[in-house]
Copies of this chain bind each other. A is one copy, B any other.
Amino acid sequence: MNTTFGENLRTTVFGQSHADAIGCTIEGLPAGESISVDALQAFMARRAPGGRLATQRKEPDTPEILCGMVEGVTCGAPLAAIIRNTNQRSQDYKAIADLPRPSHADLPAEVKYQGHQDVRGGGAFSGRLTAPITLAGGIALQILERRGIRISAHLLSVGTAEDRPMNPMGENPEDLQKRLSRGLPVLTDDAEARMTEAILAARKAGDSIGAVIECMIEGLPCGLGGPLFEGFDGKLAFGLFGIPGVKGVEFGRGFEASRMKGSENNDPWEISPDAPGAKPRTNNAGGIAGGITTAAPVVFRIAMKPTPSIALAQETISISRRENAELGVRGRHDPCIGVRAVPVAEAVAALAVLDSLLSGPAVLPQTLERPSIPTLGKISNE
């Protein structure tokens, strides 16, 4: 029932693919933050449809911020923003309302909502709903960036075509930036070529292809999260599984760690000149130990399934006739949903980080002053 992400920064996403509008509210946004709408729109454009590797549905995805800001600065009140749906072709979908698409939510939604769900374009289950997630995350990103927190994702693989993995100890910011100038968000030219080929081949075959997205968060303080259900990894994973098509989430070595020995996987601590005074020498943990951040970069990967909507004929049932039937999905679809999900992963990460930063302090100060960032300094003079 809870369609909201976050505890202290609470993002609620609303809308259906063919409703009048989609959008989001963000509660708990701190006051006094300048938000550049141009920069926000540039970020959102990274997941917008169009281009030969994506669906042909053209939506400008122009966000309209209704409230929560005064002259470009957050005012402490909830921010609400909407994106009008202008380019729907609902007739594409009407014919197939009776034929639930394989590996979509069509049939379980029919059961759950007893036929009242919005069937047009996947309704509330549409990948289009990642636009308001990106909107909210794009605002969070601007707030984080000016505090030295950078979040960058790339396509690690499309099918069997692979990019080089990120360096878990940190990447050169300029190299990370370059991935945005390519046709696909990857770190190497070679990967771009092979992934493009894989995607075009899938499209040509009337089929689709899966992908893995890798994301890194740099500049986090040590100490976000907590034990058990307070873990930063659990919060982030919850948000990431909110992206349609995600089938797996792993941190650091992830599933590979299951085949390693402790002596291989452990990250030794060493003295560091930077806060908090120590850091892990390696980062197999992906920046999280015991649910809390270690000050090393947080590294995670998400598995994106191949787009379930394909042009090839598929088997399904007819709800009205109660018999097996055949389905050819028409409409416009991405051959690889992983491509456009790259900024969405960054957006979810930004929301998780800002929510954690806004959680109350672990140590309450002795006066009503707010505490400064904790370091290891205090411990040395015991």
Contact, CB under 8 Å: B338 / A108: no
Chain B neighbourhood of A21, CB < 8 A: 66-67, 80
Contact, CB under 8 Å: A1 / B66: no
Cα distance, A262 to B235, chains bound together (Å): 29
Contact, CB under 8 Å: B370 / A361: yes
Cα distance, A285 to B227, chains bound together (Å): 30
Of A116, A238, A366, chain B has the most CB atoms within 10 Å of the CB of A116
Instruction: With both chains docked as a complex, state the minimum distance between the C-beta of A299 and any C-beta of chain B, in angstroms.
Output: 11
Residue of B nearest to A248 (CB): B250
Cα distance, A151 to B119, chains bound together (Å): 32
The one of B228, B244, B317, B358 in contact with A3, judged by C-beta atoms closer than 8 angstroms, is: B228
| Interface 1/0 per residue, A208-226 and B, CB below 8 Å | 1111100000000111001
Chain B neighbourhood of A19, CB < 8 A: 66-68
Cα distance, A251 to B303, chains bound together (Å): 10
Chain B neighbourhood of A160, CB < 8 A: 259
Chain B neighbourhood of A102, CB < 8 A: 266-269, 280
A77 interfacial by beta-carbon distance below 8 Å: yes
A93 interfacial by beta-carbon distance below 8 Å: no
A62-77 residues with Cβ-Cβ distance < 8 A to B are 64-68, 70, 73-77
Contact, CB under 8 Å: B15 / A67: yes
| Interface 1/0 per residue, A235-252 and B, CB below 8 Å | 101111110101111111
A257-272 residues with Cβ-Cβ distance < 8 A to B are 257-271
A8 interfacial by beta-carbon distance below 8 Å: yes
Cα distance, A212 to B256, chains bound together (Å): 10
A276 interfacial by beta-carbon distance below 8 Å: yes
A359 interfacial by beta-carbon distance below 8 Å: yes
Instruction: With both chains docked as a complex, state the minimum distance between the C-beta of A176 and any C-beta of chain B, in angstroms.
Output: 21
Chain B neighbourhood of A270, CB < 8 A: 315-317, 324
Cα distance, A59 to B352, chains bound together (Å): 37
Contact, CB under 8 Å: A209 / B262: yes
Given A8-B8, A113-B31, A116-B74, A80 and B157 touching (CB < 8 A)?
no
| Interface 1/0 per residue, A23-38 and B, CB below 8 Å | 1010110111100000
Chain B neighbourhood of A65, CB < 8 A: 20
A331 interfacial by beta-carbon distance below 8 Å: no
Contact, CB under 8 Å: A2 / B7: yes
Given A289-B108, A303-B257, A358 and B357 touching (CB < 8 A)?
no
26 A-B residue pairings within 8 Å (CB atoms) = A3-B27, A3-B228, A13-B228, A14-B79, A16-B68, A19-B66, A31-B112, A105-B292, A108-B294, A109-B223, A112-B374, A114-B363, A125-B290, A157-B259, A207-B261, A212-B258, A233-B246, A237-B237, A244-B290, A247-B250, A247-B253, A248-B248, A248-B258, A260-B305, A263-B314, A265-B305
